[in-house]
Chain A
């Protein structure tokens, strides 16, 4: 009887965490959803829905490095594999862009798949520049919308350089993403 109760309790807690994460995700509190997922990951790592939700929450809150484990875990269903490929592309693009900006690594010869995520868009703009002299700030204009522009630069923190992408809509900053 005690075992059954414990199992029921564990099941309800499991469902509760996933539901609360979903609520946060739908209300665009991605950072909170990501941190809840991070804290509870070891208990739910076999649940692909949980792992996907955790991964997309972290993606939208710019915690790209946290995607590494979900990428490895998502493999059992077709949907999970599609998401794994999507996320791994973004992670790779982030690493390559960081390498290029910090160490002037040439990306012009690369042909990678792209995504709808802001980092991928900026990565595509950057690779299309080809071989060029290092700049402090890069400005890219969106093809779809003339008023939408992206500003890319490196911030020099005390310990670590960070990629900064700022989204502007008609000179007004909409969102700022920081990756390292």
Chain B
């Protein structure tokens, strides 16, 4: 009787023996391919490639050098032929570079601020008041007799007197100062003096007078930034916002003043009232 199991086992062994060389060849080919791919990507081969590339690039550079040298020689010849062009270039080089600050960050801060609707002047006034209070407190601590002259009563007097006669303000020092400066201005027509007067009147909230003196200053010298700004501010305070905007726009076109631009922006946004 035939031993079937034994025959089957021997048949399998025989089949394996037949197929083994094919399998070995296939596996070795796959391994060789993988090794070749790996080695191609490795640094050793890369460096060789780089060397090869460098050689190519050097060849290119040498070729281009020759070309550039030829071009330079040609250019030199043409420059010698036309010396005026060279002089023009030198003149251009002599011009100094003017650096200009970039103040866009101010607008960014304005946009990013949460309390953007708050009037600046009010905030400052409040802060000034608190500062004054702290200062007076400090004075009280240092000296036993505090000076309570500064803060409020002056303003009240000023408002009352303005109602009666806007030209006469009974703050002794300022009034004397302004009269004295007006006399000096009438003698020599100095724009610095008229600007000073305009500023003082603006501080004293006499916007008609500040407008007048700023206008006079602008007529004498139309290149003074602060004079145009006082002029525009006075117009806004006199409820002539549109005129202020138009004036500022015209002035910005003429001078490109950053201060004027900021003021115009504030007026248009309604921050300056």
Contacts and interface: CB of A to CB of B under 8 A. Distances in A.
B236 to A, nearest CB: 15
Interface stretch (A81-89, A94-102, A129-137, A150-158): A81-89
Q: What size tier do the contact residues of chain B reach?
A: 20 to 34
Contact of B192 (A15, A22, A170): A170
B103 A86 contact: no
Contact of A114 (B96, B106, B193, B221): B96
A5 interface: no
Contacts of B106: 22, 25-26, 53
Interface in A1-60: 12, 15, 18-20, 22-27, 29, 48-49, 52-53, 56
A89 B99 contact: yes
Given A15-B112, A169-B192, A174-B192, 17 more contacts: A15-B113, A18-B109, A18-B113, A22-B110, A27-B120, A27-B124, A79-B105, A86-B102, A112-B96, A113-B97, A114-B96, A114-B99, A116-B100, A144-B223, A147-B221, A172-B190, A172-B192
Interface of A: 12, 15, 18-20, 22-27, 29, 48-49, 52-53, 56, 79, 82-83, 85-87, 89, 111-116, 124, 144-145, 147, 169-170, 172, 174
A22 B262 CA distance: 12
A15 B114 contact: yes
B96 A53 contact: no
Contact of B102 (A79, A144, A174): A79
Contact of A19 (B101, B115, B190): B115
A19 to B, nearest CB: 5
B78 interface: no
A26 B99 contact: no
A56 to B, nearest CB: 7
Nearest to B104: A79
Interface in B109-164: 109-110, 112-115, 120-121, 123-124, 127
Given A15-B113, A15-B114, A113-B98, A49 B193 contact: no
A39 to B, nearest CB: 15
B41 interface: no
B108 interface: yes
B224 to A, nearest CB: 9
22 contacts: A15-B113, A19-B109, A22-B109, A23-B120, A23-B123, A23-B124, A26-B262, A27-B121, A48-B105, A52-B105, A82-B102, A83-B102, A86-B102, A111-B96, A112-B96, A113-B96, A114-B96, A114-B99, A115-B101, A124-B96, A144-B223, A145-B221
Contacts of B110: 22
Contacts of A116: 98, 100
A115 B108 contact: no
A113 B102 contact: no
A26 B261 CA distance: 12
Contacts of B99: 82, 85-86, 89, 113-115
Interface string B176-218: 0000000000000011110000000000000000000000000
A27 B263 CA distance: 11
Contacts of B191: 169-170
Contacts of B192: 169-170, 172, 174
Give the top 5 A-B pairs by smallest Cβ distance, nearest first: A113-B97, A79-B102, A169-B192, A49-B105, A52-B105
A160 B127 CA distance: 36
Contact of B105 (A27, A53, A87): A53
Choose among A12, A19, A20 the residue with the greatest number of B CB atoms under 10 Å from its CB.
Answer: A19
B109 A49 contact: yes
Given A86-B101, A111-B96, A114-B97, A172 B193 contact: yes
A125 to B, nearest CB: 13
Contacts of A19: 109, 113, 115
Nearest to A48: B105
A12 B96 CA distance: 44
B254 to A, nearest CB: 13
B190 A145 contact: no
Given A49-B109, A79-B102, A170-B192, A20 B96 contact: no
